[in-house]
Copies of this chain bind each other. A is one copy, B any other.
Amino acid sequence: MSAADLSRCSLNSATVKHASLTELVDAAAAAGLGAVGLWRHQVQEAGAEQAARAVAGAGLRVSSLCRGGFLTAADEAGIAAALEDNRRAIVEAATVGTRELIFVVGGLPAVSAPGQGPRPDAGPGDRDLVAARARVADRIADLVPFAAEHGVRIVLEALHPMFAADRAVISTLGQALDLAEPFPAETVGVVVDTYHVWWDPQLREQIARAGREGRLASYQICDWILPLAAEPLNSRGHVGDGYVDFAAISAWVSGAGYTGDVETEIFNEEIWADEPVATARTVGERYARYVRPYL
């Protein structure tokens, strides 16, 4: 395996959750990868400019920043807080050196905290998924001018429907594209994350549409494994360990004209217990075996 083969392979920092920014960058560089995906808390800890220097100094790119979003609040204070936080995220993305700011848009506001069930005082309006989705559209419209000014793209992420109640009311790639449609492609894009969309009967056509519309901003990979972990959020597996047809999906993404980085993002307690360098090497190996040949 030559190092060049891994030039589009990116390690998302969530995959090595317990690594510092320096350890992440060192692990990705040691494994011969081309990029890293960052999360805001790390960037904030290091300082965005310092984080940018650390990544560039190791010869790597920042493939994306996670994450903006959580846009479903219905009350004025909640809306103002969401807009303020997302403006900060946009500035951080620009400063750390990536155009692609991944958005997880939030669940039904009936939820006070993920996994807790509806609030005892939840009213009928709190279960109104159609209205929550409409608020997401409104908040994207609010943020688009600021993102455009900063040269940052709002990258809408469809989350698996099992997270529709508490994490993200965007549940399919087609829905993400519908929400993006009113806005310029360079300012609102979408991400294909295999974990969230692998099951979608419309996946092939919606990936093609994303390419046609110039909105395919990121390709994130990890596998669907069973049984689900006790915390389903952390139930993802290394590419090749589960049910996802990476040959088909990677070919669709490539066929749609995507030439960007392929970011491995895995939430999994067992993988988090591994050494970051070992994880980075596995990420590179699995990418080379299951994904690269189909790009």
Contact = CB atoms under 8 A, between A and B. Distances in A.
Interface of A: 108, 110-111, 114-118, 124, 127-130, 133, 160-162, 164-166, 171-172, 174-175, 178, 198-202, 204, 224-228, 230-232, 241-245, 247-248
B201 A244 contact: no
Contacts of A130: 204, 245, 248
Given A110-B243, A116-B226, A161-B200, 6 more contacts: A127-B243, A127-B244, A129-B198, A164-B243, A171-B199, A171-B200
B115 A226 contact: yes
B242 A133 contact: no
A161 B199 contact: yes
Contact of A162 (B108, B111, B160): B160
B242 A118 contact: yes
A19 to B, nearest CB: 27
A183 to B, nearest CB: 18
Contact of A175 (B161, B201, B244): B201
A166 B165 CA distance: 23
14 contacts: A111-B226, A114-B226, A117-B225, A124-B247, A127-B243, A128-B248, A129-B198, A129-B245, A160-B162, A161-B200, A164-B199, A165-B199, A165-B226, A174-B202
B230 A165 contact: no
A143 to B, nearest CB: 21
Nearest to A179: B201
Contact of A129 (B108, B111, B133, B199): B199
A117 to B, nearest CB: 5
A201 B171 contact: yes
A71 B230 CA distance: 30
A110 B242 CA distance: 10
Contact of A165 (B108, B178, B224): B224
Contacts of A164: 198-199, 243
Nearest to A172: B201
A148 to B, nearest CB: 26
A115 to B, nearest CB: 4
Contact of A228 (B108, B225, B228): B228
A165 B115 contact: no
A175 B116 CA distance: 32
B243 A118 contact: yes
A144 to B, nearest CB: 21
